[in-house]
Amino acid sequence: MSHSLRYDVNCSILFTELPLLERPAAAAAAGFSAVEFWWPFDKAVPDGPAVDAFVSAVRDAGVALVGLNFAAGDMPGGDRGLVSWPDRSIEFRESVHVLVEIGEQLACTAFNALYGNRVDDALPVQQDELALTNLAFAAEAVASIGGTVLIEPISGSPRYPLLMADDAVAVIDKVRADSGATNIALLADLYHLAVNGDDVDAAIAAHVGRVGHVQIADAPGRNEPGTGELPLERQLAALESGGYAGWVGLEYKPSTTTAASLDWLPRERRTAALDVTH
């Protein structure tokens, strides 16, 4: 794997042996200096104590929070975002305010807005128009803390319309054209792109300048690097040589325990020099 890119742990899929609020400390104990999460609450609008407990867990662990999702609905139940879902648009917007609060406290600036599945009670064109409005709203809100909204193609959800890097970039371009927002970028999850059949090498070559965050897992299986067939090392090197200097999120399902699944990454390459004095 690349020797100069920085790696962080997605604590919504790794260290699930532990309660969520104990995972940042576990990541720190494993040698990592940064973490990311999906939406870390069980509802779109958490109460103040839940937000405070999350912020404290990250801060007390001494790690940086480098990525967070907006509320995405019931992920285990199959939801994949609220951005384009008319009945839940208000929840999405309320979650934006929560993330701005968290981002401001923890100096997090990368926020993933899962686009949302197609729904039966709205036309695709209506959903897409709503998505543009909501993404522009989110981009304006997080700009106040230097944040960027990320758009991610994902796999495994038949009604999710953004499958390829080109799909996400098209949305990014429309938001920029309509609203003037420049703080919106591609989340390149190399696993999702590969299993969706994208030409990942071509996507990197075409869009590396639009990438705001990277995530990895191997395929088949979505386990740790080295368990599958993806040329992750080559692709990360291509991203780096193309100018990407951001984080690489470990977003995979451990094939055994989380600790054992990290053996592929030497401990001395898990820590980046950071200021985490929030």
251 catalytic per annotation:
yes
pLDDT of residue 121 exceeding 50, the answer is yes
> Catalytic: which of 36, 104, 251, 268?
251
3-state SS assignment for residue 211: strand
Percentage above 90 pLDDT, the chain? 95
Q: What's the confidence (pLDDT) of residue 2?
A: 53
* pLDDT given for residue 173 in this prediction: 98
pLDDT given for residue 3 in this prediction? 58
- Secondary structure (DSSP) of 165-180: HHHHHHHHHHHHHHH-
Locate 169 and state its tokens: 């970039």
- Residue 94 is predicted with a pLDDT of 97
Bridge partners of residue 196, in order along the sequence? none
Q: Residue 278: pLDDT above 50?
A: no
Distance CA(177)–CA(240), nearest Å, equals 28
Query: How confident is the model over 81-98, as pLDDT tens digits?
Result: 999 999 999 999 999 999
Question: Choosing from 36, 152, 224, 240, which is the catalytic residue?
Answer: 152
Render pLDDT for 48-76 as a digit per residue (tens, 0 to 9): 999 999 999 999 999 999 999 999 999 99
- Is the pLDDT at 275 greater than 90, yes or no? no
Residue with tokens 């929560």: 98
- Specify the residue for token string 């104590």: 49
Query: Strand, helix or coil at 66?
Result: strand
Model confidence band, residue 272 (pLDDT cutoffs 50, 70, 90) = confident
- Does 263 score more than 70 pLDDT? yes
Q: Please check the confidence at residue 15 and state whether its pLDDT lies above 60.
A: yes
pTM beyond 0.85, yes or no: yes
Q: Is 48 helix (H, G, I), strand (E, B) or coil?
A: helix
pLDDT digits (tens, 9 = 90+) for 145-171: 999 999 999 999 999 999 999 999 999
How does pLDDT run across 162-199, given as a tens digit for each residue? Answer: 999 999 999 999 999 999 999 999 999 999 999 999 99
Token couple for 248: 């690489």
Distance CA 103, CA 37 (A): 12
Q: Is the pLDDT of residue 276 over 60?
A: no
| β-pair partners for 35 | 9, 65
> Mean pLDDT across the chain, nearest whole number?
96
CATH 3.20.20.150 fits 6-269, yes or no: yes
The two three-digit tokens of residue 215, written as one number: 């995530």
> What pLDDT sits at residue 277?
38
- The answer to whether 22 is a known catalytic residue is no
Residue 227 pLDDT exceeds 80: yes
